Amino acid sequence: MVIKKVGVIGCGLMGHGIAQVAAQAGFEVIVRESAQEPLDKGLGRIGKSLNKLVEKEKLTREVADASLARLTGTLELADLADCDLVVEAIIEDLAIKSDLYANLGKLCKPETIFATNTSSFPVAEMGAASGRPANMVGLHFFNPVQLMKLVEVVRTPETDEAVYAEAKAFGESVGKVPVAASDTPGFVVNRLLVPYMADAMRMVERGDSTPADVDAGMSLGCGYPMGPFTLTDYVGLDTTLSILEGWHERFPEDPTFVPPQILKDKVAAGKLGRKTGEGFFKWEGDKRA
């Protein structure tokens, strides 16, 4: 593999997990945030997660310490200029992501591979914004990154074959099973998962059921680890709404992409899920109250 140094942009729910698994796998990792507070919070989460893995005897203390030693934080995008791979995990907003890729295209070395963790936007548009479409892939990790085994590797018609192969090898080297995906809305998993989550909300809006009953039904009846409402709280209601709004704007005729009113109302009220302590359910730290 040519990848040695990995830049991660965004140290939120997904970025902190991606930075952590890369550092655990032996890569030198630099993670960039837009402000000190989210950077400190994200790095703190990595420390807590590593401690948990040590406590559960999934990692030794030595490996956890060595992983932390390979990880640095920065507020300067220019510090990522010499990275071999940059994985972007900032908020789900195509205009903000495109601005970022335009800057990355100007400052990174020519061979840097760009990988977006977007849940829903066209990878090709970010490649075009970077000015280096051949270097662009999607690396779509799943939440929580430390535990979920899948990574979707998304190639666009412009993606260079060697870049795709290298990105796939990176996914494997951080312990994930790569699945090839085309640059279509939601790739494989979210194209099925997000309309299912929205349908569950519509069921509750119609008064057919309650979030607790729907979740019990899908957990106990189908063996899902979480029902759709707990899962939406876990993913973030803001992120789920951004996904649906983005698709609805592009495909207004498709009824499965219409954002449910109940989701819009909760986001407007600041009830974003586990990260704010309330979404469809109340949360105490990482656990359902």
Question: Residue 144 binds which entry of ligand NAD, ligand CAA, none, with Cβ cut-offs from 5 to 8 Å by kind?
Answer: ligand CAA
Residue 16: active-site member: no
- The CA angle 189-193-196, to the nearest 5 degrees, is 155
The answer to whether 286 and 274 are in contact (CB under 8 A) is yes
Selection from 104, 113, 110, 94 nearest residue 1 by Cα:
113
Question: Residue 80 binds which entry of ligand NAD, ligand CAA, none, with Cβ cut-offs from 5 to 8 Å by kind?
Answer: none
Beta pairing, strands 283-284 & 177-182: unpaired
**Least distance in angstroms from the C-beta of 82 to ligand CAA:** 29
Q: Which residue is nearest to ligand CAA (CB)?
A: 119
With respect to ligand NAD, which residue has the nearer C-beta, 44 or 61? 44
Site for ligand NAD in 11-50 (CB under 6 A): 11-15, 32-34, 38
Q: Is the peptide bond before 255 cis (omega within 30 degrees of 0)?
A: no
Residue 140: active-site member: yes
**Least distance in angstroms from the C-beta of 60 to ligand NAD:** 28
Number of residues that bind ligand CAA (CB under 6 A): 17
Half-sphere exposure of 50 (CA within 13 A, CB side): 26
Q: Which two tokens stand for residue 206?
A: 């119609």
Residue 89 binding ligand NAD, by CB under 6 A: yes
The answer to whether 288 and 219 are in contact (CB under 8 A) is no
DSSP per-residue string spanning 18-46: HHHHHHHTT-EEEEE-SSHHHHHHHHHHH
Residue 242: active-site member: no
Residue 130 binding ligand NAD, by CB under 6 A: no
Residue 116 binding ligand CAA, by CB under 6 A: no
Q: Would you please indicate which residues are annotated as catalytic (active-site) residues?
A: 119, 140, 152, 190
Give the residues lining the site for ligand CAA (CB under 6 A): 49, 52-53, 56, 119, 142-144, 146-148, 190, 193, 225-226, 231, 235
